[in-house]
Amino acid sequence: MDCNIFSPLRQFREQLYGCFAKAGDALFNILDALLSETAARSLAELSLSPFCTRRWGSIYQGLQHADIDRPKMQRLFAMHAPLPTQGNRLVLGIDVSSIARPSSRTARDRTYVHQSNLPKGCKPVTPGWQFSTLTVLPEEPSSWTYLLDNIRVRSEQTHGEAAKEQLTEVLPLLPLRPLLLGDGYYSSATFLEQVADTPCDLLARLPKNRVLYHVAPPRTGKKGRPRLDGARFACKDPATQGTPDAFWSGTNKAGQAVEVSIWHHLHYKKARQVAVSVIRVVRPHAEDTERDPKVSWFLFRGEQMPAPKEISDLYARRYSQEHGYRVDKQHLLWETPRLRTPEQFQHWTDLVACVRNQLYLARPLAEVVRQPWESKRRELTPQQTRRAMPTILTMLGTPAQPPQPRGKSPGRRLGAKIKPVPRYKTIFKDTEKSKKVAANV
């Protein structure tokens, strides 16, 4: 095999080792074990991998004492981020995912987070941590997402503020102006104000109950304050919408009929300085359910608006991020470890991101290892790439140093009194409305 084909992955691994300021050898052992040990179902079982030269205790100690240079790691991720093919845009996805910790009373800074797939009638919330993830989305929907950053949303911030922090740090590292895709939260007036100065375009889902306004009419010269807003635009009320500024009718990639209407130069009352475009996509073939609506609304803010015929298929790429979350949680054990502190879980989250990106870089190297029941017509999956990683890692080697024997631990000092671990209450996060009310008091 040509040695040059290993260069991107080898370079990534060597530079990644330099991002670990402390416990780097143990962390790299964890990475290689998670890359190759597909049968592991816990952190301790990762120590069974032949690429983990340390015992299970070093895994927990490594996460406890780790010091990861995150700005350096962000630069590394951005350097190796996949670029779009000619004629296509660099498309990013932003979303949050919850790590449920309902029984972890010793875990600090837990908040009430969303939990899906509960029985009907149950409140879809549980104590835990929430993480904001910024990814590069593939051109064809799949689980092959590439992570740029994944940070915990602290109790004193919203996930919009966390997203703003990520975009501020990561976007200057990218060679192209990207298009950011988000769900309904990212079309709110609050988030639009937060990212008004960020160098990216935004295409987000718009809830059907939103009300926006046209540009204010010119001054009449009469006494009194001039109007700040123009005519009302309500997504639910066709009488307020008027004639669209652009219209397109045709078929999407699946050959299904689609109608796209676009209204330009609209704004929210709470964010008058941010001009947006509202897009309505009608799919007559849809079942008109919550997951498959006939009419969908979107909001665009930015400089390079996609062509109307591309919008429907373009937003569908956002669902690849959900597939990526499934790989992280079901195969890469992202939510499995019961780590005590949020700092330790942030270290673990960074390691999972490193594994995901190494799998992306290793995809051209992996020979397809399929189980007898797996289809031979489907493209290579991340899990199949993991099955090929033992061979790849053997050829690449590791920058981690072997462990040094240290003898037996002396144990606890005679008569030592061990204090109980502190317990923490789950934090109720203030809503944006309550924060504004408190600020005006």
Q: By percentage, how much of the chain surpasses pLDDT 90? A: 73
Contacting residues for 358 by C-beta, under 8 A, at least 6 apart: 9, 12, 13, 31, 35
Question: pLDDT at residue 440 above 60?
Answer: no
Average pLDDT over residues 182-200: 94
Q: Are residues 345 and 382 in the same domain?
A: yes
Is residue 427 in a domain?
no
Q: Are residues 280 and 346 in the same domain?
A: no
Q: Are residues 185 and 333 in the same domain?
A: yes
How many domains does the chain fold into?
A: 2
Model confidence pLDDT, tens digit, residues 239-254: 999 999 999 999 888 8
Q: Are residues 288 and 157 in the same domain?
A: no
Model confidence pLDDT, tens digit, residues 47-65: 999 999 888 888 999 999 9
Model confidence pLDDT, tens digit, residues 285-297: 888 888 889 999 9
Cα separation, 74 vs 63, whole angstroms: 19
Contacting residues for 41 by C-beta, under 8 A, at least 6 apart: 333, 336
Q: What pLDDT shows up at residue 226? A: 85
Average pLDDT over residues 146-164: 96
Is residue 317 in a domain?
yes
Model confidence pLDDT, tens digit, residues 131-146: 999 999 999 989 999 9
211: nearest Cα among 264, 273, 259, 278: 278
Instruction: Please indicate whether residue 433 or residue 155 has the higher confidence score (pLDDT).
Output: 155
Which of 301, 336, 355 represents a domain boundary (last residue)?
Answer: 301
Domain holding 55, by residue range, is 3-200+302-396
Q: What are the residues facing 190 on neighbouring strands?
A: none
Q: Are residues 113 and 15 in the same domain?
A: yes
Model confidence pLDDT, tens digit, residues 338-360: 999 999 999 999 999 999 999 99
Lowest-confidence range among 86-100, 143-157, 374-388? Answer: 374-388
Q: What pLDDT shows up at residue 220? A: 80
Q: Tokens representing 115?
A: 């939990």
Q: Are residues 154 and 58 in the same domain?
A: yes
Q: How confident is the model at residue 283 (pLDDT cuts 50, 70, 90)?
A: very high
Is residue 425 in a domain?
no
Question: pLDDT at residue 150 above 70?
Answer: yes
State the Cα angle at 61 between 57 and 63, rounded to 5°.
125
Q: What pLDDT shows up at residue 6? A: 83
One-letter amino acid of 158: T
Q: Are residues 386 and 265 in the same domain?
A: no
Q: Are residues 127 and 7 in the same domain?
A: yes
Lookup result for tokens 């939510």? 335
Q: Are residues 188 and 320 in the same domain?
A: yes
pTM score of the predicted model: 0.92
Q: What pLDDT shows up at residue 437? A: 42
Question: pLDDT at residue 332 above 90?
Answer: yes
Pairing of strands 246-251, 232-234: unpaired
Is residue 204 within 8 Å of residue 299, measured between CB atoms?
A: yes
Q: How many CA atoms lie within 13 A of 232 on its CB side?
A: 10
Please give the mean pLDDT across all residues of the chain: 91
Q: What pLDDT shows up at residue 407? A: 75
Is residue 438 in a domain?
no
Model confidence pLDDT, tens digit, residues 67-90: 999 999 999 999 999 999 888 999
Q: Tokens representing 324?
A: 């990526």
Lookup result for tokens 């078929």? 251
Q: Are residues 140 and 56 in the same domain?
A: yes
Is residue 405 in a domain?
no
Q: What pLDDT shows up at residue 225? A: 84
Cα separation, 43 vs 41, whole angstroms: 7
Average pLDDT over residues 405-409: 76
